[in-house]
Amino acid sequence: MREHALKKPLTDNQIEHLEEHVPYELLMLRFTLGKLRTEKHPLAWNAMLESFAVHARNLYSFLANKGDHQEDHNACEFLRITRCPMQVT
C-alpha cells in the first residue's frame, strides 16, 4: 500500500469544523435515503437523489482519504500516525 506524509496537524478550529460537518454529512445521507424510500413526486425524488449523492460523495472522499483540494481534510488526519495510506480505491 502506498503512503503519503500527512499535512501539518489540524488546528482546534479545523477539528471543531470537522466535528460539526462530518456528523452533518452522515445525518443528511440518512435523511435523504429515508426520503428516497417514500417520496412519490418525481421531481422531489430527483432532488433527494442528488442530495444523497452529494453527501455520499463527501463522506466517501473524507473516509477514503481522497481529498483533492488543499482545504480538504481526510479521516487519517484524526489519527496519531505520521503517514497516511494513499487513497482507498
Residue range 7-14: average pLDDT?
Answer: 70
| Selected residue with higher pLDDT from 59 and 81 | 59
For 26, the 3-state DSSP assignment is helix
Tens of pLDDT, residue by residue over 14-62, are: 778 778 888 999 999 999 999 999 999 999 999 999 999 999 998 888 7
Residues of the domain holding 65: 16-71
What pLDDT, on a 0 to 100 scale, did the predictor assign at position 1?
Answer: 42
Residue 86 lies in a domain: no
d(CA 25, CA 67): 15
DSSP string, 29-82: HHHHHHHHHH--SHHHHHHHHHHHHHHHHHHHHHHTT---STT---GGGGSS-S
Residue 33 C-alpha cell reads as 435515503
Domain contains 76: no
pTM of the model: 0.69
Q: Which residue has the higher pLDDT, 71 or 24?
A: 24
pLDDT (mean) for 6-15: 69
Q: Is residue 11 part of a domain?
A: no
- Number of independent structural domains in the chain: 1
